[in-house]
Amino acid sequence: MATNVSFLGPVARAKSKKASEAKRLGGPIASMSQTAAAVAEATTNGKDYFVERNGLRYAGTHLLIDLWKAKGLDNLALVEQALREAVTAAGATLLNIHLHHFSPNGGISGVAVLAESHISIHTWPEREFAAIDIFMCGSCDPYKAVPVLRRMLETDSIQLNEQRRGLMP
């Protein structure tokens, strides 16, 4: 079941994260030992990272987000910082970021690879448009990333579509 929501303004579900949660990344990217420890703990505890909410069990929440009238879409440093802050806000574990800048004034495509899945972005600065994809499993909340992206890319024009991936029959 898809939910298509268009709105202007803030996302009501957003809450600020505690400083201790932001520190858990151990720097800009989780180290290999931190990642290995998290995987080992999940395996030991038998956790499979599927989500259980409202009587449903599924792999994760996948948000497709269109930002219109956005700013800074050709600014590589800004896009990278927006992704990093979105990851932290959602409570996810950053493994790696890879961004490609098509020219000094062109669009940017890239992905933040997460232990809990990914956030990808593709920008068209000449149209003030960004297509963002957020897929997260486990206890992460992808909706908490939306206000960060909205604020950092300076837009109030957002279209959001939600998919529940891997919905168990």
Active site residue 137: yes
The catalytically annotated residue of 101, 109, 118, 122 is 122
Asked whether the beta carbons of 106 and 62 are under 8 A apart, the reply is no
Judge residue 119's burial from the number of C-beta atoms within 10 Å of its C-beta, 0-12 exposed, 13-18 middle, 19 or more buried: buried
CA distance 71 to 125: 8
The catalytically annotated residue of 20, 117, 118, 120 is 117
Residue type at position 30: A
The catalytically annotated residue of 137, 139, 140, 157 is 137
Closest CA to 99 of 90, 108, 91, 107: 108
Residues tagged active-site: 117, 122, 137
